[in-house]
Amino acid sequence: MSIGFTRTPKKTAISVEDFISKVDPTAVQDDKLPWTSLRGDKRTELYNIRLTEVEMAKLRFIAENTPNSMQAFLMKIILPAIDRAIDDVLSEIKRKKMNANNSR
């Protein structure tokens, strides 16, 4: 049994080609970023940060005089900085692609 329509659908104001051309080809897909398939719930790798004796003494001073360990203190600073840097890098990639597309 087929169901008929009582009226035909309205024609769109934009053609399919125009719609496709409006898609942002510069958008970076999340599934293509190198960390999307990795686990984010377990810290496994160690990364050494080379500090001078003065910098290390300052870090120890902070840890001894605040509730934060040296690790916790650095993580509170590093993780947001990494996210900001990623946003900056992705914005720059998008800007370069847009400039490349506009120069064609």
Structural domain spans, the chain: 69-104
Q: Residue 99's pLDDT band (boundaries 50, 70, 90)? A: confident
* Angle, vertex CA 75, rays to CA 74 and CA 79, nearest 5: 120
Q: The whole model's pTM is what?
A: 0.62
> Could you tell me the two tokens for 18?
């125009």
Per-residue pLDDT tens digits for 11-20: 767 776 666 6
**Six-digit token pair at 48?**
């050494």
- For residue range 56-74, list pLDDT tens digits in order: 999 999 999 999 999 999 9
Could you tell me the two tokens for 37?
């398939």
Could you tell me which residues come within 8 angstroms of residue 87 by beta carbon, excluding any fewer than 6 positions away?
A: none
pLDDT at 5: 66
Q: Check residue 89 and give its pLDDT.
A: 93
